[in-house]
Structure 1
Amino acid sequence: MQFSIATPTAAEFAALYLETGWGQWPLETFERALAGSWVVCVARDDDNRLVGLGRLIGDGALHAFVTEMIVSESARGAGIGAEIVRRLVGEAHRRGVRDVQLFAARGRAAFYERNGFARRPDDAPGMEWAGESRGTAVP
């Protein structure tokens, strides 16, 4: 498995969406989504096929939000999602953003909890990175 901070083609992104049942939109929608991403991490199998993708959107200074975490049905259970999350958070931190948040899909909060996120209080919905160095300045 190969992981990288890299942007796939819009066609690859659309195919992964369709394959995993996330929906179908015009190709230009995926092009705009990728163009609006701050960080994209992909996983590719030995045949260079896109099998996982995670995106961050953010302001580049204070906040970043995980907006997609998608792993192909055929590749699930191999730690691909966990590695993508680890790399996304690491890249946000490397770029100076410590506040990484997300809204977990129904039934997926435990995955994020296992990977360093904590649920926020009911009056502040979503989840946030609970790992070390949260909220500290970066030299």
Structure 2
Amino acid sequence: MSYTVIDKLPIYDQFAELHQSSGLLKNKKGNYTQEQLYTAAKNSWYCLSIYDGEALIAFGRMISDGVYQALICDVMVDPAYQGNGLGKQIIEGLLHKCQQSGIQSIQLFSAKGKQQFYKKLGFQEREADAPGMSIVI
């Protein structure tokens, strides 16, 4: 099947609908409105959207300093389209942008149960003596 891939943020309604249907919204830490999450996406360094006709079916974004660090955020695929390689296509597109920009250090936070997906794409868990850390305030 042929899909359209663009490096542009989708309109708010499409973003909010995919955020909800993909289950990513319920995995968020903190209390954020859909509007706040869309503003966060608008502030991204780079994003990719995949469409089936007019319907947004996959999305991913990165925040970055544009030089040496990037963080992949909000990778989501419509459940009806999962298993078709769209998540992989999003990740590969984001990594390609990093390569073009010379960024070599790329981090991500995985949703529960998705670690194996990212491992298949070459990501590794941080070493035990250099753990990632976070705080929710």
1:91 corresponds to: 97
Alpha-carbon offset, residue 6 of structure 1? 1.5
1:66 paired to 2:68: no
Alpha-carbon offset, residue 27 of structure 1? 4.4
Unaligned runs of 5+ in 2: 27-31, 133-137
Q: Contact 1:13–1:30 (CA<8 Å) still a contact in 2?
A: no
- Report the TM-score, using the length of structure 2 for normalisation: 0.82
Q: Contact 1:11–1:27 (CA<8 Å) still a contact in 2?
A: no
1:50 paired to 2:56: yes
Amino acid at match of 2:75: M
2:135 corresponds to: none
1:31 paired to 2:22: no
Range that drifts further, 91-100 or 22-31: 22-31
Q: How does 1:5-44 map to 2 (within 5 A)?
A: 5-23=7-25, 26-44=33-51
1:108 paired to 2:110: no
Range that drifts further, 26-35 or 95-104: 26-35
Alpha-carbon offset, residue 55 of structure 1? 0.7
SS, match of residue 124 in structure 2: strand
Runs of 4+ in 1 over 3 A off after TM superposition: 24-27
Between 1 and 2, higher relative CO (CA 8 Å, sep ≥ 6) is seen in 2
The superposition leaves residues 60-96 of structure 1 with CA deviations (integer Å, 9 ceiling, x where unpaired) of 1110001111000000000000011000000111122
Q: Contact 2:72–2:106 (CA<8 Å) still a contact in 1?
A: yes
Amino acid at match of 1:51: I
- Report the TM-score, using the length of structure 1 for normalisation: 0.81
State the distance in 1 between where 2:128 and 2:75 align.
Answer: 23
1:136 corresponds to: none
State the distance in 1 between where 2:55 and 2:129 align.
Answer: 41
SS, match of residue 88 in structure 2: helix
RMSD, aligned CA: 1.7
Range that drifts further, 68-77 or 19-28: 19-28
Unaligned runs of 5+ in 1: 127-139
